[in-house]
Structure 1
């Protein structure tokens, strides 16, 4: 087995932007505490519409996705969420328009359904990016949603298992524009 390599936040950012064909993210957290999102999330909770282009990190993400898609690459994510969704998950859904406009394919699956199909608990409780079916970038979180560690995994067996989980998640999820409470 090839050991995982820890990534700094800078290396993490570089890794998820460097792929040749496909980038897939599986999101499993009930909430995330990313400092750059805090003001926008608080505004959402007050009933204000999100303005993601005011957040430099999100503006950069949308620009990067748009460029990858322009080059013929695919960026996709499946969010496993509660039914009903948490406040943070509702906030995430409110940002779908900007992700999709940039070209990212957004899909949803309820946590209950993820258990029914065997995705959970098998896929664990960490989020990850599968890049070109050759690299796995794993994100570890504490109980509050702070990202505390990033790892790069290139072990073929681990990456192949992630491909199986990706296929299972995509097959059983619904696109953001099609989602229902039971997706």
Structure 2
């Protein structure tokens, strides 16, 4: 009579060991890597680059037309690809804004067809910490070539403006911009901050 519980116990132990071994065998399999849903081919990127080059070439041609037809101003090309002229040039100032400086400024944004998108009044006077706050690339770079008291008008290709997405409001997709930027005040950062740069 006592043999039955022993067989029952051995059966239970064997059954549990079998389940454990099966579980271990299944869980020790190599994990399957997840595959990306959309695989972009090299031709997709090549097409995107070609499209970007075409847009830039068309926008550069537009800028050259504007420059050619504007006989009142002398345009200069910036190192980053924008064109600009001075509305007001400060001949006595020598200091150019550097990273961490505080620049008080005002600017507007106008389309190449001269439609005002944002006026200086609607944008308001802003205090910007150079290279430490988000601005579109053309504006961020332009601030660093203007001295206190200077006002300049810039032509930006869309790649230096808001690019493909626009700003989600008045600046459209791949829209080149004209901006007049006024530097009202430049407060240099403390020397120890500049030395860390």
| TM-score where L is the length of structure 2 | 0.25
Which structure is larger by alpha-carbon Rg, 1 or 2? 2
